[in-house]
Structure 1
């Protein structure tokens, strides 16, 4: 099988962390990249889920509370950042 060279740019820290991880798995970076490429070909796409960051439980609850407050016409509102800061300091 003929081979070719690829140049890939990445952050120095990312490369070092990946090399350390793959070394622990008994792989070098070239083998790991080739595994990724072959798996992408086999699956016909990226071989893992790509998702936006999902908020943790506390953040999700805060978002839900904010949405409820927006619907609640009796909820306290603020007309300026200064008003909000003053309420938080109280």
Structure 2
């Protein structure tokens, strides 16, 4: 008898999120099960989440922006010039 090389895992997920995930990963040439396996493998490799989790991404972005020095912008042309300088 050959030992199983994989084990079954059951998770609960919002049906719409599951459908969107299946569609996304199918468009990338894989499936949801393989994507979950890749996520877990990467987390084990890194010793934690393979991304920086935040409670509220918008709040984190605002906090990061607030830590930047404020700069006065006098006109829309000044904004365009600032963007062009990036």
Report runs of 4+ in structure 1 exceeding 6 Å deviation: none
Using the size of structure 2 for normalisation, the TM-score is 0.60
Aligned to 1:74: none
Number of positions where the alignment pairs a residue of Structure 1 with one of Structure 2:
59
The equivalent position to 2:15 in structure 1, one of 7, 12, 28, is 12
Aligned to 2:37: 34
RMSD: 2.1
Unaligned runs of 5+ in 2: 67-86
Aligned to 2:75: none
Aligned to 1:25: 28
Unaligned runs of 5+ in 1: 62-90
Give the Cα–Cα distance (whole angstroms) in 1 for the partners of residues 55 and 6 of structure 2.
Answer: 35
Max Rg structure: 1
